[in-house]
């Protein structure tokens, strides 16, 4: 979005109008450098039809702990990952709910979940390499929410998959 600013400058009794067009996106890096703000993490709010069933699934099958649960809302955590769940009566919206979780040791995590009987009934339910530099797999929870666990691949892994023999 472009904003127009008109500044009237008076220089030696002569009026000079300066029309400046500034796009926020053009100056976001300058603004970031001046303010020294850093984003650290995001906490998704995912939808569920049934809070107790969701808490049970994530604690028993995926190794999360329940930090807070009340009518219509829950906070679950495993390591540094925090997920918020809120009750939603619309199954279609719940099944469109999803998030991606960055992990270390994606293959070992898959084995842990598989030993708990957690699976995703598609080729993406097993660890696979992607064209955008990740190794990942997906889990569909008990309410139909997709959680994708991914790990960034090293440059060596990417080059070997592309046929580069550096």
Contact 5, 20 (CB under 8 A): yes
Question: Closest Cα partner for 89 from 124, 47, 119?
Answer: 47
The residue written with tokens 């060596």 in the block is 156
What pLDDT, in 10s, does the model give residues 86-144? Answer: 999 999 999 999 999 999 999 999 999 999 999 777 878 899 999 999 999 999 999 99
Q: Which domains are assigned to the chain?
A: 45-156 (3.10.180.10)
Q: For 43-53, what is the mean pLDDT?
A: 98
What pLDDT, in 10s, does the model give residues 1-43? Answer: 444 433 433 444 444 444 445 555 556 666 656 667 888 899 9
Q: For 54-61, what is the mean pLDDT?
A: 98
DSSP assignment letter at 126? S
Contact 46, 134 (CB under 8 A): no
Q: How many residues does the chain have?
A: 166
Instruction: Give the pLDDT confidence score for residue 8 in this predicted structure.
Output: 37
What predicted TM-score, i.e. pTM, was given to this entire model?
A: 0.73
């Amino acid at each position: 979005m472009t904003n127009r600013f008109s500044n009237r400058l008076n220089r030696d009794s002569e009026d000079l109008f300066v029309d400046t067009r500034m796009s926020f996106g053009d100056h976001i890096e300058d603004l970031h450098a001046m303010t020294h703000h850093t984003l650290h993490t995001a906490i998704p709010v995912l939808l569920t039809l049934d809070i107790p069933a969701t808490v049970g699934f994530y604690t028993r099958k995926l190794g999360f702990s329940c930090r807070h649960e009340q009518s219509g809302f829950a906070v679950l955590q495993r390591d540094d990952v925090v997920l918020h769940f809120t009750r939603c009566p619309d199954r279609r919206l719940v099944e469109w709910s999803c998030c991606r979780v960055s992990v270390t040791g994606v293959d070992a995590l898959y084995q842990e979940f598989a030993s708990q009987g957690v699976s995703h009934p598609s080729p993406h339910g097993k660890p696979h390499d992607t064209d955008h530099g990740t190794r990942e797999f997906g889990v569909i929870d008990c309410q139909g929410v997709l959680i994708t666990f991914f790990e960034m691949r090293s440059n060596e892994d990417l080059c070997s998959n592309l046929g580069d023999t550096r």
